[in-house]
Amino acid sequence: MYKTGPWNLNEIKPKDLDLALKEIQETVSKLVKRRKELTDKISPSLFMQWVKEIESMKIDINKLSAYISLKFAEDSSDQLATANLSKVENELTKINNQLLFFGLWFKDLPEHKAKELIKHSKEYSYHFEQLRAVKPYALNEKEEQIINIKDLTGVSALNNVYRLLTGQFEYKYRGKTLTQEEVIVIVRDPNPEVRKKAYLLLLEKYKSHKDVIGEIYKNIINDWREESIHLRGYKSPINVRNIANDIPGEAVEVLLKVCEKNQHLFHHFFELKQKNLGLKKMTRFDLYSPIKKKKEEKIDYNEALNLVLEVFEKFSPKFKEGALEIINQNHVHSEVKKNKQSGAFCMSVHAKLPPYVLWSYTGTLRDVSTIAHELGHGIHHILSRENTEYTFHSSLPLAETASVFSEMILSEKVAEKYPQKAKELLYYKIDDIYATIIRQAGFVAFEKKAHEMMKEGKTIDEMSAVYLEMLKNQLGPKVEIDPIFAYEWCYIPHIFSSPFYCYAYAFGNLLTLALYEMYKEKGHHFVPKIIEMLAKGGSASPVDITKAVGIDICSEAFWQKGFDVIKGMIKKLE
């Protein structure tokens, strides 16, 4: 029997919060006193001593930061958790500010010295290559410190307000008070009227708070523009994310272009779905409707976990071992709770510790898929943990590879286990592909417009009207869209916390479709290649990591191959 209760945070829980902060501060102070050692004459051995000491302290900082974040995620109404979150963020910002000198010193080294130290750093080399790559956008130490303080009381605080506000939304439905996770389950109800009611409940809540949410977003955008474009000199708002991901801008633009070009495939899919549902017209309320008329039978939590573990074991024992390590160490928070953070995530703390995962299990097949997805993230972490603290975590687009691949191999098993549901499951899979590729690319296209509109002084209602118009183009002329969906973007947390993050989903899903096809073609002999790719974590550039398995992410033809697979899936439905 697997636990459904809260996770065990004892491995990262400080014995005393104030003492833990004090000890970190004392270590930092000692390093600050030694900063005169950092010259362009430094020996490689002394340089590596600094690297190891800062790496050790990074672990202590990450443990403390993760603990207070996870406590807040499990209950945003807990006043102590909220107070500790604010306190620790404030103190760690001060501490990180004191450590800025090391990275800035390395960026300013003469080229020949930097190359010498990078060569000597061996497994750390990619991290230091990336530090040099962002040198053009770095400011001086005092300016960087001011920006960190500004982020703490600005963008970070705004995101905490957004999470606090939306995390406490309650929805009255048939005499019950539901969480957002429970409402999202109902939007997939077989009954069209129930689906509509659930969507209206969900989105009316965001619409009624649009002024506050809009003010939060406006200031996040303005902050992003003023710092990134005007102070640092990035070419465009999305350029910031591309450089952070070490993804060529060309690859991202090609990806978004191919996604838009292939929206028509889903227009046809929605027509097929409408016929199968027997609807006179297809509306946005019906987009994720199950094909079967009766409600989906609930799947027991233990059955769900065992199914996912069985799939992992068949693919690779390493996948199952990684998942079990997370589950057996009780690093999972799965119960549905009021004031718990909505959605699902996998949080890495440090390389040698299994990550923590959160989901709210309601018993649906979609929830089983979420388990595979988040454990896939965790497996990726565990496979790459032999890298350094700086290089074990992959860039965002590649971070979706293991998670989406886990979903793919699960869907194959589910179709095999429930052959009578094959058609229904294929519809479900294409629904999911739309949601994770076209929809996510659409969010990024909207963000690009929103950043421009905010610069022009447009209102939140004007931005929402643009979102609605873009959604109409995305879904095609045959899908009727209620005006309430103008505010759908308001409940996408990544738009607030990580601008332009969402293309990572489209990237990861299309990349994984290609990987999965290669796996199907080459068979089990290809598994070690996939394991090797995941084990690299973030120790090399995404371009180099994908080239190693025969993929060119700057090629339009490569991304089109992913859509050719989708086209085949839709044709199969016909």
- Considering only 68-82, 222-236, 311-325, 534-548, which range has the smallest mean pLDDT? 68-82
Q: ∠476-482-483 over CA atoms, to 5°?
A: 110
Specify the 3-state DSSP secondary structure of 283: strand
User: How confident is the model at residue 295, as a pLDDT?
Assistant: 67
Angle between helices 125-133 and 111-121 (to 10 degrees): 150
Specify the 3-state DSSP secondary structure of 356: strand
User: How confident is the model at residue 126, as a pLDDT?
Assistant: 96
Q: Residue 182 pLDDT more than 90?
A: no
For 544, residues 6+ apart whose C-beta sits below 8 A from its C-beta are none
**Cβ distance 85 to 73 under 8 Å?**
no
Q: Residue 5 pLDDT more than 80?
A: no
User: How confident is the model at residue 434, as a pLDDT?
Assistant: 96
- Residues of the chain with pLDDT > 70, as a percent, come to 99
Q: Averaged over 406-417, what is the pLDDT? A: 86
User: pLDDT band at 294, cuts 50/70/90?
Assistant: low
User: How confident is the model at residue 197, as a pLDDT?
Assistant: 95
User: How confident is the model at residue 247, as a pLDDT?
Assistant: 94
Q: How confident is the model over 477-506, as pLDDT tens digits?
A: 999 999 999 999 999 999 999 999 999 999
User: How confident is the model at residue 425, as a pLDDT?
Assistant: 78
Q: How confident is the model over 249-292, as pLDDT tens digits?
A: 999 999 999 999 999 999 999 999 999 999 999 999 999 998 87
Segment holding 176, helix H or strand E: strand 176-178
Give burial (CB, 10 Å; 0-12/13-18/19+) of 13: middle
Q: Residue 3 pLDDT more than 80?
A: no
Pick the CATH number of 17-153 from 2.30.30.40, 1.20.140.70, 3.40.50.2000, 2.40.360.20: 1.20.140.70
**Cβ distance 411 to 520 under 8 Å?**
no
- Joined together, the tokens standing for residue 411 give 């869907």
Q: How confident is the model over 453-471, as pLDDT tens digits?
A: 998 999 999 999 999 999 9
CA of residue 432 relative to chain centroid, distance: 16
